């Protein structure tokens, strides 16, 4: 359903967010598909709606600095950039706080978090009214171009999202600049509306390009996903020394979803691997997950985790 942007529409969208559903919402860059970043199941529904075959880390959107500080370690440089460029089309990759209330599906298990304070009143109102930090990738089917109008979202995602807020065409029409904040330099991970010169000027640090304008998605690197122990896929039984992660009929020591629900499984995946790593077994085995719907993304992720390194 598409609703024109007004207070009633925001209230309805906030109810859906609190119920763990994704909502398409305009930002000043592109339309985002937003969900409660603190809920693994809500975040898993983003991937399901997009038909995304792998779990890339997502940007978390906040409405104020206090909310940002509760999620990530904000260095003085990060504060300086935030003071000048937030709210706006800048995403900062910062160390994730140990006690940050975000699902590990948002960070794809990384120790860092991509944070952005958007300027668009719709996204800001949705964060404030729902009271949740919102994870939001661009609101388009996986592999398709980003949506800059509500009708693009409807054409791309259709009835896979319960609500699309129509705020008209977006201002920038291009995703936010992504920059990793490091001790003595910044690394430009994705070029966007805010350029490197501006970042250098405000931060007083050199800005290095990461590759030639290519997105450096740590989600694509197997080493970031790999648990500390060998991982055996498609296991239906437990061998000596193994910790078995079950799914559906395979019970295991732990289960991604006893009922075989891929949304629940995706939400629990990273936690289950961390838990398996922390046991005193020497290896991890995991039950087969059917490759339909979100199962495709889960298996993509598991293949990387099991790949020889
Ligand atoms: O303008 C935007 O940024 C839009 C609107 C909706 O806010 N969002 C957006 O999200 O473009 P998405 O999911 O399409 O792009 C997120 C990208 C990932 O592909 C990844 O490269 C990067 O952000 N990213 C997220 N977390 C990261 C992290 N911890 N370290 C490095 N890169 C990260
Ligand atoms: Mg995108």
ipTM score assigned to the predicted complex = 0.98
Q: Does 137 sit in the ligand 1 pocket, CB within 6 Å?
A: yes
**Same domain, residue pair 81 and 173:** yes
Domain membership of residue 270 as a residue range: 222-306
Strands 112-116 and 164-166: unpaired
Q: How far is the CA of 275 from the centre of ligand 2 (A)?
A: 30
Mutate which of 31, 57, 94, 152 for ligand 1 pocket (most atoms within 8 A of beta carbon): 57
Q: How far is the CA of 146 from the centre of ligand 2 (A)?
A: 6
**Same domain, residue pair 226 and 164:** no
**In this predicted structure, what is the pLDDT of residue 213?**
40
**Same domain, residue pair 195 and 89:** yes
CATH number, domain at 240?
3.40.50.11030
**Same domain, residue pair 104 and 252:** no
Any idea which ligand is nearest the CA of 176?
Answer: 1
Task: Tell me: cis bond preceding 152? Omega within 30 of 0 counts.
Answer: no
pLDDT per residue as tens, the chain (309 positions): 999 999 999 999 999 999 999 999 999 999 999 999 999 999 999 999 988 777 789 999 999 999 999 999 999 999 999 999 999 999 999 999 999 999 989 998 889 999 999 999 999 999 999 999 999 999 988 877 788 889 989 988 988 999 999 999 998 888 899 999 999 999 999 888 898 999 999 999 999 987 544 445 554 554 445 677 999 999 999 999 999 999 999 999 999 999 999 888 887 787 788 789 889 999 999 999 998 777 877 887 788 788 876
Q: Does 32 sit in the ligand 1 pocket, CB within 6 Å?
A: yes
**In this predicted structure, what is the pLDDT of residue 167?**
96
DSSP code for 92: E
Residue where one domain finishes, among candidates 169, 202, 219: 219
Own/partner contacts of 14-21, CB < 8 Å, gap of 24 or more, are 14/126, 14/129, 14/130, 16/162, 16/163, 17/42, 17/126, 17/130, 17/132, 17/134, 18/130, 18/131, 18/132, 20/45, 21/45, 21/162, 21/163
**Same domain, residue pair 124 and 190:** yes
Q: Does 217 sit in the ligand 1 pocket, CB within 6 Å?
A: yes
**Same domain, residue pair 268 and 164:** no
Q: Does 67 sit in the ligand 1 pocket, CB within 6 Å?
A: no
**Same domain, residue pair 112 and 68:** yes
Helix axes 196-203, 76-85, angle to 10 degrees: 120
Mutate which of 33, 34, 58, 181 for ligand 1 pocket (most atoms within 8 A of beta carbon): 58
Residue where one domain finishes, among candidates 188, 219, 250: 219
**Same domain, residue pair 261 and 166:** no
**Same domain, residue pair 152 and 24:** yes
**In this predicted structure, what is the pLDDT of residue 309?**
66
Q: Does 136 sit in the ligand 1 pocket, CB within 6 Å?
A: yes
**In this predicted structure, what is the pLDDT of residue 224?**
47
CATH number, domain at 24?
3.90.870.10
**Same domain, residue pair 98 and 123:** yes
**Same domain, residue pair 192 and 241:** no
User: Residue 129 and residue 201: Cα distance in Å, rounded?
Assistant: 35
Any idea which ligand is nearest the CA of 190?
Answer: 1
Residue where one domain finishes, among candidates 219, 254, 272: 219
- Dihedral over Cα of 101, 103, 106, 107: its sign: positive
Q: Does 62 sit in the ligand 1 pocket, CB within 6 Å?
A: no
**Same domain, residue pair 238 and 299:** yes
**Domains in the chain, number:** 2
């Amino acid at each position: 359903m598409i609703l024109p942007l007004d207070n009633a529409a925001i209230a309805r969208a906030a109810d859906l967010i609190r119920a763990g559903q994704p909502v398409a919402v305009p930002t000043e860059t592109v339309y985002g598909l937003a969900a409660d970043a603190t809920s693994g199941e809500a975040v898993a529904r983003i991937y399901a709606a997009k038909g995304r075959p792998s779990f890339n880390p997502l940007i978390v959107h906040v409405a104020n600095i206090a909310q940002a500080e509760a999620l990530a370690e904000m260095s003085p440089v990060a504060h300086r950039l935030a003071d000048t460029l937030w709210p706006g089309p800048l995403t900062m990759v910062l160390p994730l706080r140990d006690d940050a209330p975000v699902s590990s599906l948002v960070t794809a298990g990384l120790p860092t978090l991509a944070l952005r304070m958007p300027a668009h009143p719709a996204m800001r109102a949705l964060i404030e009214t729902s009271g949740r930090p919102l994870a939001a990738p661009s609101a388009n089917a996986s592999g398709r171009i980003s949506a800059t109008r509500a009708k693009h979202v409807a054409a791309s995602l259709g009835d896979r999202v319960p609500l699309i807020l129509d705020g008209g065409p977006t201002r920038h029409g291009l995703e936010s600049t992504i920059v990793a904040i490091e001790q003595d330099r910044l690394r430009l991970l994705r070029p966007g509306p805010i350029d490197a010169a501006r970042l250098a000027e405000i931060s007083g640090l050199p800005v290095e390009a990461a590759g030639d304008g290519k997105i450096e998605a740590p989600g694509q690197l197997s080493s970031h996903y790999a648990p500390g122990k060998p991982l055996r896929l498609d296991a239906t039984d437990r061998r000596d020394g193994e910790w078995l992660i079950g799914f559906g009929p395979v019970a295991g020591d732990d289960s991604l979803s006893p009922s075989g629900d891929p949304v629940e499984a995706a939400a629990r995946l990273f936690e289950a691997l961390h838990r398996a790593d922390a046991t005193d077994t020497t290896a991890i085995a995991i039950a087969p997950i059917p490759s339909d719907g979100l199962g495709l993304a889960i298996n993509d992720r598991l293949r990387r985790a099991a790949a020889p390194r």
